[in-house]
Amino acid sequence: MVAYHGVTLPFRFHWNLLLAVAALLPGCDFRVYTNRSHVPPGMRFPPNLLLLDWVPVRDLPSMLEACALGFMPYVLAEPTLSGFPLKMFEFFAGGLPVVSTRLRELERFEDSVTLCEGDPEGTAALIQREIEGDTSERRRARRALAEAHGWVSLAARYREQVSDHLEAKRLLRNTASN
């Protein structure tokens, strides 16, 4: 199952790409967990694409266990281009491979996330490749990456940087006063 969980407002979520890719991969189930009021009126879904309600954070890990891949089809325009989709780390925490439209902020994670150019055929091929090429080793590496970028790790690094900065300032003051 290919999943997306989050905001799907049309100015930032690429509904047309999602629908085209789902149509190209009829043997693959797609699930979109979102606020249904975000869905453009009159949108018709292929039979392999289900629209479901947003999953509470406490239920996200169990939802991700049933998935094979996280898909982030974003519109390549502001404000999406200047943002960072933290949901990539949610998918990684579940061990999932991720395919996303090419956002500048994700390019630094290109070793871990697969970036697509937004063409349906190419995107469908990348999704298929990532699902078929997934291994337990790759899932462990993605979980480790998510943990390294989790709030606990980031707070520890920040605390260490502040401490180092304050220590350097103290040493400079002591040197200047001698």
Adjacent-strand bridge partners of 2? 30, 69
Adjacent-strand bridge partners of 13? 74
Query: Per the domain annotation, does 149 fall within a domain?
Result: no
Q: What is the pLDDT of residues 133-174, one digit of tens each?
A: 999 999 999 999 999 986 655 566 667 777 776 777 777 777
Range of the domain at 123: 2-141
As given in the structure block, the two tokens for residue 10 are: 């049309």
Percent of the chain at pLDDT above 90? 76
Query: Per the domain annotation, does 15 fall within a domain?
Result: yes
The residue among 92, 132, 50, 28 whose CA lies nearest residue 100 is: 92
Query: Per the domain annotation, does 63 fall within a domain?
Result: yes
Give backbone dihedrals phi and psi of 111, rounded to 5 degrees, phi first. Answer: -70, -20
Contact 23, 78 (CB under 8 A): no
As given in the structure block, the two tokens for residue 98 are: 């991720």
| CATH number (domain holding residue 48) | 3.40.50.2000
Q: Give residue 124's pLDDT.
A: 98
Query: Per the domain annotation, does 92 fall within a domain?
Result: yes
Q: Which amino acid is at 34?
A: T
Instruction: Kindly write down the DSSP assignment for every residue of 82-135, as one continuous string.
Output: G---THHHHHHHTT--EEEE--GGGGGGTTTSEEE-S-HHHHHHHHHHHHHT--
Query: Per the domain annotation, does 85 fall within a domain?
Result: yes
Query: Per the domain annotation, does 78 fall within a domain?
Result: yes
The total of structural domains in the chain comes to: 1
Q: Give residue 163's pLDDT.
A: 74
Q: What is the pLDDT of residues 101-119, one digit of tens each?
A: 999 999 999 999 999 999 9
Query: Per the domain annotation, does 67 fall within a domain?
Result: yes
Query: Per the domain annotation, does 169 fall within a domain?
Result: no
Residue 131 has pLDDT above 80, yes or no: yes
Cα–Cα distance for residue pair 87/12, rounded to 1 Å: 14
Contact 93, 147 (CB under 8 A): yes
